[in-house]
Amino acid sequence: MNFWTDIEAIFNNREIALLLWIAVIVLVVLLSKLRKSLVPIFKILTSKMFLIIFSLIGAYLYGTILLLKNLEVWQTSNLKDVLFWLFSVGLILVFKINEAKSNAYFKGIFLSAIKWTIGLEFIVNLYSFSLFKEIIILPILVFLAMTQAVAEMDEKHKVVSKFLQNVIAIAGLSIFSYSLYKTIVNFDDVLTFQNLVSFLLPSTITVLFIPFVYFLALYSTYESYFIHLDFMTVKKDKVKETKKLILRIANINLDKLLRIKKNFEKRVFYDDTDLKSYIHNISKQSKI
């Protein structure tokens, strides 16, 4: 009984329902034939590259937690918020790293982290229904969202997609209205330092995570492009010189590196073009 009380003290009913459904899904997959399809995914996720990335993420988050501890704003209960952030935002940002086509991408992450929807999420998650209701509501909303996403792919199902959008919007508005009402009624209980930290923590970690994602995107772009350069010509000396010049000119500027990658022409390996001037010019040539 005390164990369940401790669980309820850490997680709200919505989070408990989510964890229960995840556990059920994992159990079903492990007991079914689908577990065989997990083997290649597991091999990829445990490859050297991913283990290094996961270790770096762990070290980065540990450093962030130490910083918050030194600022005396960290509480042990916030570990739950960090874990939910990691699996709902952090890893998604890492796996979508190829979408980083300019510095503006990271500005978008920053704006998303501080926009008013964070407040919406805070209010909606602050109060939840009974555990039984949450267990019923959660899969229904997920099913509706997935069905709507599939329907949106085909123009023939546009009416169905629009209908499901309205249903999801009404359900979201209802949950929001309930949470807002409970927030106003219990305002004194809501306005606590712990809730304030929980409110600010996800956006704070996201903002602090941006440099990590930026340098990961930079490294990934350099690595893939340098491999591409190796296959562009057999003139290894020129390739080596080109790589050094790119590193010197683009440095840690992702925009410059992507402009070079986009505008670089193979012909310069075979004519008398001044590589330094050429790379310098294409790094400023045009927006990506």
- Tell me the three state secondary structure of residue 100: coil
- Alpha carbons 40 and 47: distance in angstroms, whole number: 11
Q: What is the mean pLDDT of residues 53-65?
A: 86
What percentage of the chain reaches a pLDDT higher than 70? 83
Give dist(CA 58, CA 278) in Å, integer: 40
Q: What is the pLDDT of residues 79-104, one digit of tens each?
A: 777 887 887 778 878 877 777 777 77
Q: What does the H/E/C string look like for 42-74?
A: HHHHCCHHHHHHHHHHHHHHHHHHHHHHHCCCC
Here the tokens at position 40 are 């290649």
Mean of all residue pLDDT scores within the chain: 78
The pair phi, psi for residue 128, each rounded to 5°, is: -135, 165
Does the pLDDT value for residue 113 go beyond 70? no
- The pLDDT tens digits for 155-171 are 777 787 788 778 877 87
Per the rule left: phi > 0, alpha: psi between -120 and 50, beta: everything else, 2 is: alpha
pTM: 0.70
- Which residue type sits at 263? N
**Tens digit of each residue's pLDDT (9 = 90 or more) over 193-250:** 666 677 777 778 888 888 888 888 898 889 888 898 888 888 888 889 899 999 999 8
| Strand, helix or coil for residue 163 | helix
